[in-house]
Each structure stands twice: as structure tokens, then as C-alpha cells.
Structure 1
């Protein structure tokens, strides 16, 4: 997924996703040429981890 697609999927602004990446937080992404892309399964895993940590 592209940066914009991932932001829409997470219902968060693109700028927030970029900021999380800068901090080393957020879902795992990687560079594909000049673009940052995300695997849907990595994003879903990150969401699951956040749900577990919030429940603690």
C-alpha cells in the first residue's frame, strides 16, 4: 500500500504516518525506489500489537 492508502486505511493524516516513520514508530514500511510502501499484513499486525498494549 502507498503512504496515502495506508493513511486512509488507518484513518490518520499522511503527515502523522510520516512523523511516526521519522520516530521509528508506526507500522513497518520500506522504500521501493523513491516511495515508502507498507504491506497490509504489517499494518494489521501493528494494529493488533497496539490493541494488546492498550488492553494491558
Structure 2
């Protein structure tokens, strides 16, 4: 099984944000988990999708996880 990775440019494009935002999130330890291999930063697609799911909102500030637990 092959794990799919996105680089910083690809993830920034996927989310329509700047690459600088991803850099700042890494510095603040705020964004999705990443791998740094030989100076190159990549994000596992599974980790990106988990990050997205964890931040999905149903109504107001209610997360998808909170809604499903009720």
C-alpha cells in the first residue's frame, strides 16, 4: 500500500491559503501533522483528511465529533 503525500504548495492550493500560512502553522504547532525529510516538508493525505474532519462544523461552533456523540 502506498501512502499519498502532498507538499506545502499542493496543500496550500487544496485549501486556498498561502504557503506562508502553512509555514506559520508549523512554527506555532497549529496545523496538520507533517513529515520533514531531507529539508522537504510533506503532509500525509490521511492526516490532512483527519485534520479536516476534526474541524468540520455542523452548526455554529459544534464539531462533527460533538454532534455524533449526542
Same fold per superposition (TM over 0.5): yes
Partner of 1:45: 50
Tell me the distance in 2 between the aligned counterparts of 1:10 and 1:44: 12
Unaligned 5+ segments in structure 1 are: none
- State the TM-score, normalizing by the size of structure 2: 0.71
The answer to whether 1:15 aligns with 2:20 is: yes
Q: Which has the higher helix share?
A: 1
Larger RCO, structures 1/2 (Cα 8 Å, 6+ apart): 1
- Rg comparison, structure with higher value: 2
- State the TM-score, normalizing by the size of structure 1: 0.86
Tell me the distance in 2 between the aligned counterparts of 1:8 and 1:22: 20
Q: Superposition RMSD on alpha carbons, in Å?
A: 1.3
